[in-house]
Amino acid sequence: MSTQLPRRTVITAAALSPALAVGAPAAAQAAPGGSVIRDVVLAVHGGAGSLPRGSITPAQEKAYRDALEKALRTGAGLLSGGAPALDAVEAAVRVLEDDPNFNAGKGAVFNTDAEHELDASIMNGKDLRSGAVAGVHNTRNPISLARMVMERSRHVLMAGKGADIFALQNGLAYTTQDYFFTQRRWDALLNAKNPPPVPPSVTEGQTVGAVAVDQGRDVAAATSTGGLTNKLVGRVGDSPVIGAGTYANSRTVAVSCTGTGEVFIRGVAAYDISALMEYTGAAVQDAAAKVITQKIPALGATGGAIALDPRGRLATPHSTLGIINGYITRDGTVVTRLYNDETPPH
Ligand code: ASP
């Protein structure tokens, strides 16, 4: 990974609006029509939430940006060698699963029983094949297990013990639960069980996801998460639910969502973006903005998504104050966006 390359930061007028600056929900000022970034081959997210400037140290900022850049360059390297979008999204998500700063793989949050239960899904836009796992305990890279479910089983979604056994049978790295431990997530669990007087200002979301388009103009999407801190044992969010947290169709769009999973499931969010594009001819930025900044908030929750169409147009709408994300364009330019003021709401 090169850290020498300049990082261009995109700040739009919307991101600097007074409403955002005082912390109003982004949805309150959502206008019809979203913004779009062009010529993107791969985008990743590290969760929707709030990351105000000054809330992390320069070293933490560097760690986040380096991880996003590494994920982007890893996936884009595959794409430029002619690999399918599916390979790129899996590789990008693996990088973020291995990074303890994100809530996926190592660094995943704890459930009420102080365990890690991991969810992931992947979808291939070319033929609508997909694979997903929920409540995984001992698989180091759940996104690769999701892909194995897609390619080596006759199923789409596997859960719990059976999924971990399937991983072992197919040669994926087995790990004990302590591998996923980070002090920060442990503290978050203790805080959730016994809330401090002042809630932490930095998001504890940090689910990860990736969307890509390959040289054949096929798209793919992948999402991986530890879910929500202090979730009930057995709770499954939107991330492993095809159509809710993840969706890809090469005729429309690849989408990876982040936010309160229950509402993304009820709103069938990722598929809804694709359906709007398919049935109304909406552009990716308009479809994604409508679902994420209007429909999902109307159901009572906040979150965000990255949505990439086969022509390389990327939308990153969110109704939270921010969404950690990054993208790489056809010419190799990498942009990483962490702070609320770097991420326009739609
Ligand atoms: N959507 C994830 C879940 O509900 C959480 C997140 O995106 O932060 O499991």
In the reported structure, the alpha carbon of residue 80 is separated from the centroid of ligand 1 by a whole-number distance in angstroms of 31
The per-residue pLDDT for 199 is 54
The per-residue pLDDT for 8 is 40
Q: Is the CB of 246 under 6 A from ligand 1?
A: no
Hunting for tokens 């109304």 — which residue is that? 280
Q: According to the annotation, is 238 in a ligand binding site?
A: yes
> Which protein residue has the closest C-alpha to ligand 1 atom 4?
261
The per-residue pLDDT for 76 is 98
Q: Assign domain 10-342 one CATH number from 1.10.20.140, 3.30.428.10, 3.30.1370.60, 3.60.20.30.
A: 3.60.20.30
The per-residue pLDDT for 109 is 97
> pLDDT truncated to tens, each residue of the chain (346 aa)?
333 333 443 322 233 222 222 223 343 344 446 799 999 999 999 999 999 999 999 999 999 999 999 999 999 999 999 999 999 999 999 999 999 999 999 999 999 999 999 999 999 999 999 999 999 999 999 999 999 999 999 999 999 999 999 999 999 999 999 999 999 999 999 999 987 665 554 445 899 999 999 999 999 999 999 999 999 999 999 999 999 999 999 999 999 999 999 999 999 999 999 999 999 999 999 999 999 999 999 999 999 999 999 999 999 999 999 999 999 999 999 999 999 999 887 7
Q: Structure pTM?
A: 0.90
Q: Is the CB of 326 under 6 A from ligand 1?
A: no
Give the span between the Cα atoms of 341 and 322, in whole angstroms: 8
- For residue 267, give Cα distances in angstroms to 190, 263, 300: 31, 6, 10
22: closest CA among 344, 340, 342, 346?
A: 340
The per-residue pLDDT for 270 is 98
Tell me the residue type at 220: A
Residue ranges of domains in the chain: 10-342
In the reported structure, the alpha carbon of residue 240 is separated from the centroid of ligand 1 by a whole-number distance in angstroms of 10
Q: Is the CB of 46 under 6 A from ligand 1?
A: no
The per-residue pLDDT for 33 is 61
The per-residue pLDDT for 147 is 98
The per-residue pLDDT for 334 is 98
